[in-house]
Structure 1
Amino acid sequence: MSSADAPSPEASRRLRLFLALELPRPARSALVGWRERALGGRAELRLIPPDALHVTIVFLGGRDRERLDEITEVAFAAAASAVSAPPRLRPLAVRPIPARRPRLYALELEDEGGRAALLQRAVGGALAEAGLWEPERRPFWPHLTIARVRARSARRGARERAGEPALPPLPSEPPPQLAFEAAELVLYRSLLAPSGARYEPLARCAVGVTSS
């Protein structure tokens, strides 16, 4: 790596962080299989790696490395008492985001019992009170990002100029009718690369699980 390519000292001190609910293995496997059937083979789309599927609770963005322990302690302390049972989520439908010129496809999730929203408010509120996060204006929306739209190609631009849809229609096969409990909150570091972001788990916390 040349000195021009090396990250600045300030950049190396900052971590791009977010908190997310982990998918249980059976649900992840079922959703990945459905997604391959529904969206696989589309040159316009880049499917999110299976192990990168998650439900974002709080996106922290760039934070000083020195505050990592504080962020972990505050977030997990709030999560431990936020809900009496793990959030229960159910796939609803695929949404293009934004609808007219989508940059990604998201699988909307029903938050049964509202426990994911309760968790988000508790964790986000604790982080905001500690001065570790600035709340977003948009409301919490439980979803999985399942695919991103690749950079526009000349062929796609020609289709748009001809008045044809920029992307193929949404998948005709509905998502699997399953509900799953997300019982683990994970603090992730996001590492950006030309091939796409890679997510490194830094710490984990059980959610809604009481010890006997």
Structure 2
Amino acid sequence: MPERLFFAVQPPPPSRAMLAGSVAAMGRPARRVHADDLHLTLAFLGEVGGTEAPSRAGDRAATQAPPFSLALDRFGLWRRRGIAYAAPSRVPSALLALHSALWSALEAEGWSRERRPFRPHLTLARGAVRAPRQVTVDPWRVEHLLLLASGPPPAPRYRVLASWALGGAAAE
């Protein structure tokens, strides 16, 4: 059965809890993303069969990218789409380099790059009508690239298919 696959980075559990708390005051109709599922997507691959998982691309991208610090300090709402989000006010060059290295590796394996521009953000809720409240979330050290799969609707739950330490360590 095909799964929806994507590469992402994920804040540590305490940061995810703080971020999830930022949407608590939003009320309905927002559908909050579960704290365990909060992530920043680098490459969405869509529906993929079991044998097509792009693990070589993860290896190559992680080898080329050093660990870096990331702060999600800007909270907002894309009204037209109803997406409440957290994003970095300053996008680290290392995050852009990881994104670029990942897509270069994926394209070398025949994957098609998304057409929309990369806007690094972490989705906090869908169906939102107002922005989440601003919370202080400490910057975290991004040390792993993850390959995630989403579960079946109605409530996606993500599971880690593979994890690579940034800076060239072997896949876990």
Same fold (TM over 0.5): yes
Q: Does 1:191 align with 2:151?
A: yes
What residue identity is the alignment partner of 1:64?
G
Q: Quickly say closer, same or farther: Cα 1:78–1:110, change in 2 above 3 A.
A: farther
**Runs (4+) of structure 1 moved beyond 3 Å?**
110-113, 208-211
The 2-side partners of 1:89 and 1:18 are apart by: 19
Q: Quickly say closer, same or farther: Cα 1:52–1:127, change in 2 above 3 A.
A: same
Q: Does 1:208 align with 2:167?
A: yes
Match of residue 30, structure 2, among 23, 29, 45 = 45
TM-score normalized by the length of structure 2: 0.86
The 1-side partners of 2:151 and 2:90 are apart by: 28
Q: Quickly say closer, same or farther: Cα 1:177–1:64, change in 2 above 3 A.
A: closer
What residue identity is the alignment partner of 1:51?
D
Instruction: Name whichever of 179-188 and 22-31 sits farther off.
Output: 22-31
TM-fit CA distance, 1:141? 1.5
The 2-side partners of 1:140 and 1:78 are apart by: 20
The 2-side partners of 1:28 and 1:137 are apart by: 28
Match of residue 116, structure 2, among 112, 129, 138 = 138
Match of residue 62, structure 2, among 68, 74, 80 = 80
The 2-side partners of 1:115 and 1:23 are apart by: 16
Match of residue 90, structure 1, among 61, 71, 79 = 71
Q: Does 1:24 align with 2:5?
A: no
Match of residue 170, structure 1, among 104, 112, 131 = 131
Match of 1:182 in 2: 142
1:109/1:144 contact within 8 Å kept: no
The 2-side partners of 1:90 and 1:209 are apart by: 23
Cα deviation code 1:79-100 (max 9, x no counterpart) = 232223x232112322222x3x
TM-fit CA distance, 1:75? 2.1
The 1-side partners of 2:73 and 2:100 are apart by: 22
Name the SS for the 1:135 alignment partner: coil
2:18/2:137 contact within 8 Å kept: no
What is the root-mean-square deviation of aligned Cα atoms in Å?
A: 2.2
TM-score normalized by the length of structure 1: 0.71
Higher RCO by CA contacts (8 Å cutoff, separation 6 or greater): 2
Match of residue 129, structure 1, among 108, 121, 125 = 108
1:20/1:186 contact within 8 Å kept: yes
2:18/2:135 contact within 8 Å kept: no
The count of residues paired between Structure 1 and Structure 2 equals 170
User: Which residues in structure 2 correspond to 1:146-161 (within 5 Å)?
Assistant: 146-149=124-127
2:57/2:109 contact within 8 Å kept: no
The 2-side partners of 1:59 and 1:143 are apart by: 13
TM-fit CA distance, 1:58? 0.6
2:83/2:123 contact within 8 Å kept: yes
